[in-house]
Amino acid sequence: MDKQGISIDEYLRKLRALRTLPFVSAGLVTANVVIYLLCQLPGDVLYERGCLSAYDIIVNEEYGRIFWSMFLHADTSHLFSNMIILLFMGAMIEKETGHLSFAGIYLASGLGGNLLSLAGKIARNDWAVSLGASGAIFGLDGLLLALVLFSRRRMENITIGRVLLMIAMSLYSGFTGGNVDNLAHIGGLLAGFVLGVLLSIYLRISRR
């Protein structure tokens, strides 16, 4: 019992409860919203310097665009649709993976999606720019699929069939929609799945 009358067991329970809060998911949503609001200020400086542009990356060697473009959004609906998914699905997955693993896989998936998108732009000689967190969010789909398949941890109302259906519908929506960077989606999905498999193996070994 400490000076304030809180037992050690109660303190540890509160600490464990604190660790399950989705700090990273909430922080990423906040960062995306703040950056979007900054983008609405006069001038397009953040868009001009941050969008995924094959020309600027290859010719001007502005490699930071591969990272920064995942925090930019074209309009309010683009931002809202991505952030809703990130907030709710991210909170669920972050509880299973831990904060650092979740943050690392989210960012790595975004980079993976942008790298595949960039490769496609170069192969097609496409100089159009792209932006958005969709690649990183598809990485969460891949991560969730890996957790369901390989971690052997039960998640309420989450089944392999439901996850596969969600992924299929998301991909279908992208391929049938206009002005969508589907390669970024696929790259993020694959990156998230591969990293999720590795994380699942690590979690199974650590539990032993």
Active-site residues, by number, are: 134, 185
Q: What are residue 35's phi and psi, to 5 degrees?
A: -65, -40
- Main-chain phi, psi angles of 137, to 5 degrees: -70, -35
> Residue 7: how many CB atoms within 10 A of its CB?
10
Q: Do the beta carbons of residue 133 and residue 86 sit within 8 Å?
A: yes
- Quick one: DSSP state of residue 179? S
**Residue 52 phi, psi dihedral angles, 5° rounding:** -75, 105
Return per-residue pLDDT of the chain as tens, 208 residues: 444 556 776 666 665 666 678 899 999 999 999 999 999 988 889 999 999 999 999 999 999 999 999 999 999 999 999 999 999 999 999 988 999 999 999 999 999 999 999 999 999 999 999 999 999 999 999 999 999 998 877 777 788 899 999 999 999 999 998 889 999 999 999 999 999 999 999 888 887 6
**What is the pTM (predicted TM-score) of this model?**
0.89
- Cα separation, 42 vs 123, in Å, equals 35
pLDDT tens track for 57-93: 999 999 999 999 999 999 999 999 999 999 999 999 9
